[in-house]
Amino acid sequence: MNITDLKTQEENDFFHTYKRLQIEIVRGEGCYLYTSSGDKILDMFGGLAVNVLGYGHKKMNDAIKSQVDKYIHISNLFYQDKQISLAEKIKQLSGFDKVFFCNSGTEATEAAIKLVRKYFIGTGKITLVSFSGSFHGRTMGALSLTARKKYREQFQPLLPDVKHLEFNSVAELEAEINDKTAAVFIECLQGEGGINPAQAEFITKLNELKSKYGFIIAADEIQSGVGRTGTFTAFKQFGLDADIIIMAKGIGGGLPLGAIAGNKRVENVFTFGEHGSTFGGNPVAASSGLVVMEELEQGLMQSNRSNGDLLINKLKSVQQKYPDKIKEVRGMGLMLGVELTSTGQPVVDALMKRNVLVNCTNENVIRLLPPYIITNEEIDLFCSKFEEVISIL
Ligand SMILES: Cc1ncc(COP(=O)(O)O)c(C=O)c1O
């Protein structure tokens, strides 16, 4: 089928939730996607922070195939060695104590909400706090935390007792957090919101208020985690005193996998049957995730830091040449944003014409989430195409 036929077919068959690019991908290799019309596209989006080892990663594919040959699903009625090995790696890399597996980011957020509810049941601590610009998922609990209007507006009523405070406003923390606060959900480096980092004094105040009121802090690391920013979790670099880590996207390297990890404080909250998931921690996804963790241990986090430095410095020099077009370049490791002074879609389109895939979030932020295996040559290639586009638009 050609693109026009695919488009017509989808319009007939699907709920209209996705706006597709008008190209057809036939395969991927390394940091590149190949189209049915013979184009080779440099992927700076990585399946929205999912394909951390790029495409066609041999070790990952072999691990998946080998698990498929054993069994693809046996249900959570059974012990599963791949799940256990993956949990061990997550514990080692995060320093946290217990893990629960699910299939996606929004499910991981739901698990964290349920954990918080049970932890404080009957205590009067009922308020959940999140921040402007945040994105925590699209199911009703997670969506209640997601502050960005465009995702939530049409789906009221959502959960009661949720407050959205201004991100980075110490004054709002002081005014709105109290002994009714059960939990604070935070992306220390916001993704959908436009690659916005939390400020040091904001995190310090949050930690201080946690000591005072005893709420739980849940760090949403779905986009920023799994080594992307140069450490396993971004929140550690911010000094956040988190009790729960919420993970998904890159954790399975491309297969559906989500997880929460909890510290000693929350490790025994759930008992048998109180939470679960038929597919959560699926052995094939866990085998893939295990390869991601092994590769992280082989130095990928360090290279994310150095590649991130290279990329951000090059982008900052483009900004210096075109300060009227680029407002700010920001981010950490391989999670970077270029805030433009005008809307980003023309830049996305012009880059796509040059076989480079990027995404624009929050109207004017070009978001870069490349695979961790990106090379210096690919960074150079991206930066030269980006500069070319900025110079002409
Ligand atoms: C920070 C953050 N939280 C939660 C989610 C939701 O994850 P999922 O789409 O896997 O449900 C996303 C997805 O973009 C995200 O970036």
Residue minimizing CA distance to atom 8 of ligand 1? 105
| Distance (Å) of CA 11 to CA 5, 7, 21 | 10, 6, 14
Whether 106 has a pLDDT exceeding 90, the answer reads: yes
DSSP state of 232: S
User: How far is ligand 1, taken at its centre, from the CA of residue 388, in Å?
Assistant: 32
Q: Helices 376-392 and 345-353: crossing angle, nearest 10°?
A: 120
- Write the pLDDT tens digit of every residue in 281-291: 999 999 999 99
Ligand 1 centre to CA of 112 (Å) is 14
pLDDT at 147 over 90: yes
Confidence at 360, pLDDT banded by 50, 70, 90: very high
Q: How far apart are CA 219 and CA 221, in angstroms?
A: 6
Name the band, by pLDDT with cuts 50, 70 and 90, for residue 83: very high
- pLDDT over 90, % of the chain: 99
Q: What is the mean pLDDT of residues 198-214?
A: 98
- Residue 252: predicted pLDDT: 98
Rounded CA-CA distance 30/52 in Å is 10
Tokens 């690019």 correspond to what residue?
A: 21
Tell me how far CA of residue 183 lies from CA of 116, 170, 207, 237, 287, in angstroms. Answer: 7, 17, 12, 21, 32
**pLDDT value at residue 237:** 98
Question: Is 135's C-beta closer than 6 angstroms to any atom of ligand 1?
Answer: yes
Contact 141 CB / ligand 1 (< 6 Å): no
Sequence ranges of the domains in the chain: 58-295
Q: Compute the average pLDDT of residues 196-218.
A: 98
Query: Would you state the pLDDT for residue 286?
Result: 98
Residue nearest to atom 10 of ligand 1 (CA): 105
Say if residues 387 and 350 touch (Cβ distance below 8 Å). Answer: no
Band of residue 23 on the pLDDT scale cut at 50, 70, 90: very high
Atom in ligand 1 nearest the alpha carbon of residue 187: 1
Collapsing DSSP to helix, strand or coil, 209 comes out as helix
Mean pLDDT for 303-309 is: 98
CATH 3.40.50.300 is right for the domain spanning 58-295 = no
Instruction: Give dist(CA 246, CA 100) in Å, integer.
Output: 10
d(CA 142, ligand 1 centre) in Å: 9
Q: Whose CA is nearest to atom 16 of ligand 1?
A: 223
Predicted pLDDT of residue 1: 84
pLDDT of residue 116 exceeding 90: yes
| Any atom of ligand 1 within 6 Å of the Cβ of 130 | no
Q: How deeply is 323 buried, as exposed, middle or buried, from its count of CB atoms within 10 A (0-12, 13-18, 19+)?
A: exposed
Probe residue for ligand 1, chosen from 107, 143, 144, 223 as the CB with the greatest number of ligand atoms within 8 Å: 223
Token pair recorded at residue 107: 């499910």
333 lines ligand 1 (CB under 6 A): no
**Amino acid symbol at 78:** F
Please provide the size of the chain in residues.
Answer: 393
List, for residues 256-283, the tens digit of each pLDDT value: 999 999 999 999 999 999 999 999 999 9
